[in-house]
Amino acid sequence: MTSRIAGLGFAAMLLLSAAHADAATAGKRIALSNNYAGNSWRQTMLTSWTDATGQAVKMGIVKEAPAFTTAENQVTEQAAQIQNMILQGYDAIVIDAASPNALNGAIKSACDAGITVISFDGVVTAPCAWRLTVDFKGMGAEQVEYLAQRLPQGGNLIQIRGLAGTSIDDAFNQGMLDELKRHPNFHLVSTVYGNWTQTVAQKAVAGVLPGLPDIAGVLTEGGDGYGAAQAFSSAGRKEPIIIMGNRQDELAWWKQQHDKDGYTTMSSSIAPGVVTLAFWVAQQVLDGHPPPKDLQVPYLKISQDTLADTLAKTPSGGLANKLYTQQDAEQLRAVGH
């Protein structure tokens, strides 16, 4: 009798483990805390979240996954938003943070309340949170390497930085400056702030161009390439090699220039769909399979060969994107171990 019961129990266990592992998270609620929605990257990111989580909710993998966003890039509002999420009793919070550490107080409260916190893109330093980091430093260095390979004789460069005082801008800048030290034939003749925004970058570059000698290349942080190109053409100067950041307007302009006179450059950025990877990592943690706390996310690179294909798939006003799946998150965990 006892052996029969034990046998039944064993069979049930087998059945359970064979059933989809998601049963454990079917009742879970995961919220997205986003701090800014004013550019194409964030808009695409929010759409990716809605698409992927809508599917997951329909399939019964999680109960609900709403997105919350604050008006501007405001730390204090996002901290309050996270504290409100704690009160609403979410099981996990996925965060694109306005600041790597100024939210730590709120995040610690969340962890103390037993909430899983996953940060991506703008990651947080609170030790209890997971981080999906992008090697922005490496991305910055890679731009200089690419220019060095295209322009072995060197030349003058303009650097367009992002939003002053942010960790992402700081990492990009570090990577660029470190790599520039290894290429003394490049001269950084001007540095401006473009706030990752086309119009701001255009104004900033147009403002400094009249006083500058011939420019061979422009280092960027994404979202600013097309604006820089516009500034050059309206000043009646030949466009240098401007590194692009996967935005549709940038890619379209690049393709048009290439068709005209063989203009070539490179483009890279983190895919906004990384938010879906963060979602799946949260689901994995809730399911009892936590990956390591620090995870490296690959970024999307576009070269001349992949330009036409990528452009065709990128909606106007958006940027090159990739949605991640549950399998991707599982793989990330396997690699991490």
- Residues found near other proteins in the complex (CB under 8 A): 32, 34, 37, 46, 66-77, 79-81, 83-89, 98-106, 108-109, 163-167, 169-170
Q: Please calculate the CA angle 294-300-305 and round it to the nearest 5 degrees.
A: 155
CA distance 163 to 226: 17
Residue nearer to other proteins on the CB measure, 96 or 179: 96
CB of 295 to other proteins, least distance (A): 21
Strands 30-34 and 92-96, how do they pair? Answer: parallel
CB of 171 to other proteins, least distance (A): 8
- How far separated are the first and last CA of the chain, in Å rounded? 42
CB of 79 to other proteins, least distance (A): 6
CB of 273 to other proteins, least distance (A): 16
Residue nearer to other proteins on the CB measure, 46 or 147: 46
Backbone angles phi, psi at 6, to 5 degrees: -60, -40
Residue nearer to other proteins on the CB measure, 108 or 258: 108
Residue 273's contacts (CB-CB under 8 Å, 6 or more residues apart) are: 44, 45, 48, 52, 321, 322, 323, 324
Residue nearer to other proteins on the CB measure, 67 or 252: 67
Residue nearer to other proteins on the CB measure, 163 or 206: 163
Can you read off the two tokens belonging to residue 328? 């991707």
CB of 43 to other proteins, least distance (A): 9
Instruction: Region of 34 please: left (phi>0), alpha (psi -120 to 50) or beta.
Output: beta
CA distance 253 to 259: 10
Residue nearer to other proteins on the CB measure, 73 or 202: 73
CB of 147 to other proteins, least distance (A): 25
Can you read off the two tokens belonging to residue 282? 């949260």
